[in-house]
Structure 1
Amino acid sequence: MKETPCDHCKPRVRVMGSLLALLVALGGCGKSGDDGKTAGQQLDAAIAKTEQAAEKAKAGTESAMANVGAAMKDATREVEASGKQIAGKAGETLNDVSITAAVSSGLARDPELSALKISVDTKNGAVTLTGSAPTEAAREKAGALAKTVKGVNSVENRLVVKAG
């Protein structure tokens, strides 16, 4: 069961109600108690104490709510920052995948280059070509083709020239 801000006040209210009932029962309108106060004065004092306790409880609740609000704002900022970081990493990975696909597609469309013999790897926009090319001109063409793809920052051409 979830505790509400007023749950801790209920026992005080019961005690104060019992105290008031006892004072009314024991005191008469004009009779004095052991401390020299009439029942009405004792009742007024009890009411004043109850009001003070209520104000103290209210102040404590307001302070606690302010702390909760600040903690929620901090948590929200942390979650937002984490989300942006994750989204940024996901975006980088997605860009690398699309760059790899575009370079591989370009290689496959070129009759001189075989996409099956050339492996394309991309990390943070840096493309690495590995495998074999039939001629030095084809090797250079593959590197040049990779450089034309949007998002490519650099190309490391590790292709080895192998005839046939």
Structure 2
Amino acid sequence: MSLGLAACDRNDNRTAGQKLDSAIAKTEQAAQDAKVRTQEAAHDAKVAVQDAARDARVDADQAAREARATSAEVGQDARERAHVVGENVRADTQEVKANAKAAVEDAGITARVNAGLAKDPDLSALRIDVDTHAGVVTLTGPVKNAQARERATQIAQGVGGVHQVINNLNITPGA
């Protein structure tokens, strides 16, 4: 029975420095993950723009052939279609750029909130999950008391770009 109790001992024997190093490593990993997601989003955006441009060229070429082969009315229709395609490409490009920018901003907010939590001795950046979407930060995990829960909200609200904080932290004495 004694061996069973010893195996269940979940006390974290790491030093404060080790815990801080671990929190910093987690924050750096979140920033690296954000960078990778940003690069992927930028690549996807580039491919989408290239595909849209190619499609627009194909559509424009087809429209031009139709215009030469038919009457002035068909030519007008082709120009209108080409314009619509161009507008759609511009709109798609703007949307992709906006989505990529939002992803980068959200990842940066998450990293800054994690860093702020890591600096507070009453909060565990390793146990608190930070998720950001469109500037809305959601905090999830255990905290020791109501003061620590409120402090986590204050830290998140203090980060630039945060529009709202949803605090789903659970008070768990001994956390």
Same topology, TM > 0.5: yes
Q: How does 1:108-127 map to 2 (within 5 A)?
A: 108-127=118-137
Whether 1:84 and 2:114 are equivalent positions in the alignment is no
Q: Give how far 1:61 is off.
A: 6.9
Q: Give how far 1:101 is off.
A: 1.1
Hey, what does 2:45 align to over in structure 1?
Answer: none
Query: Once the two structures are aligned, what percentage of the paired residues are identical?
Result: 37
Select which of 114, 129, 133 maps to 2:139.
129
Whether 1:161 and 2:159 are equivalent positions in the alignment is no
Q: How many residues align?
A: 111
Q: Give how far 1:70 is off.
A: 3.1
> What amino acid is aligned across from residue 90 of structure 2 in structure 1?
E
TM-score by length of structure 1 reads 0.58
Find the residue that maps to 1:128 and give its secondary structure. strand
Select which of 49, 70, 85 maps to 1:75.
85
Structure 1 residues 91 and 59, CA gap change in structure 2 (3 angstroms): closer
Name the structure, 1 or 2, with higher relative contact order (CA <8 Å, separation 6+): 2
Give 1 or 2 for the bigger CA radius of gyration.
1
Q: Give how far 1:97 is off.
A: 1.4
Whether 1:94 and 2:104 are equivalent positions in the alignment is yes
Q: Which has the higher helix share?
A: 2
| Structure 2 unmatched runs, 5+ | 1-64
Deviations 1:118-148 (A, max 9, x none): 1111121111111111222111111100001
RMSD: 2.8
* Whole-angstrom CA distance in 1 between matches of 2:69 and 2:161: 58
